[in-house]
Structure formats: structure tokens, C-alpha cells
Amino acid sequence: MSDFSIRLARPEDAEGFHRVEEDAAALLREEPSLAGIPVPPSTSAEDYRRTIAAGQCLAAAVGDEVVGFAAAGRIGRELHLHELSVARAHQRKHIGSTLLRALKIDAANSGLRAITLNTYRDIPWNGPFYARHGFVEVENFEGRPHLAQSLEDAVALGMPRDRRCAMICFLD
């Protein structure tokens, strides 16, 4: 029996999304291979409110407390995962995996064809995590300019191009 639940995010979850992202970002700041590489600022609660309003975000909660989330938005017939974060005190409890599975089910039930994202290809809880869940690296950005733009945005923030990648999971 799990001690968390997954649900569609509500506007009042925006502060929790921001708080969880801030907490989880500490792992990137502590990652030795990223020493000297800036970690982008967390998304504001106001920006999360706008993303949540689009209706594709999920929250993981323990009681009334948001402990994880998947913030995503539609781009054509695909869903782009902007952020998947779990508070450090609640990691390694399958919350991230459960959020990702629920997001795939919700996207498929909404008639979407795939989920896309941008991430570090070599950080264990980034690229390898998504690969274990059916995501593959995107080699050709044709028809998906948002992925190329997201990669360029990350590079502009100081993230190394050679360590970043776009990934996609096709929904059956």
C-alpha cells in the first residue's frame, strides 16, 4: 500500500510545484559532474498556475501536501513534459515512475500520440530513467521545433549541449 496518491493538478498546487522543484533541484546542484554548470531557476508558482490551468498536469500528494508533480502541456498531438520532480524526502518510493505512467495513460486517453521532453542524457535520474520508461532520444527535430528550441534555451542558460538530449515516448 502506497502512502501517496496521484491526481489531476489543481490551481492551488502551484506553490507546491514550485517548492518541490526547488527542493529536487538541489540534486543537480550537488551532482559532481555538473560542478560549475548553472542550474536554471525554478518555475514560479504563477507560471505553474498557468500550466496547471491547461489541464495536463498531475500532482502526487501525501495527504494534502504536494510531494511530486508532472507539469506538461500539449503541443499539437503530443504532450511535452516540462518538469517531473519529486521532493527529496519522498524520492525512491516510485512516485516519479507512477507519475510518468499516469501521464502516459492520461495522454493516450486524450488521443495524444507521444510524450516529449528535454533532459540530461547521462544523469541517472534523467535520461536513463526516462529510457527505462520507454523514451528514446530524438535524432531528427523535423516536425518538432519545440524540442530544438528547448535544447537551444538550455544551452543559452549555460547547460552543455553535448550532455543534453530530447526524448520521445510513443503512445500505443
Angstrom distance (rounded) from CA 108 to CA 111: 5
Average pLDDT on 102-129 reads 96
The pLDDT > 90 percentage for the chain reads 90
Specify the number of domains making up the chain.
1
Angstrom distance (rounded) from CA 14 to CA 88: 18
pLDDT at 172: 79
Q: Are 146 and 80 in contact (CB under 8 A)?
A: yes
pLDDT at 2: 65
Q: Are 103 and 79 in contact (CB under 8 A)?
A: yes
**Domain span including residue 15:** 5-170
For 132, the grid coordinates are 527505462
Per-residue buried b or exposed e for 120-131, using 16+ beta carbons within 10 Å of the residue's own CB: bbebebbbebbe
CA 15 and chain centroid, separation:
16
Supply the CATH number for residue 25's domain: 3.40.630.30
pLDDT of 57 higher than 90: yes
Residue 1's pLDDT band (cuts 50, 70, 90): very low
Higher pLDDT, 172 or 65: 65
What residues have CB less than 8 Å from 98, skipping those under 6 apart? 2, 4, 6, 60
Per-residue buried b or exposed e for 62-84, using 16+ beta carbons within 10 Å of the residue's own CB: beeebbbbbbbbeeeebbbbbbb
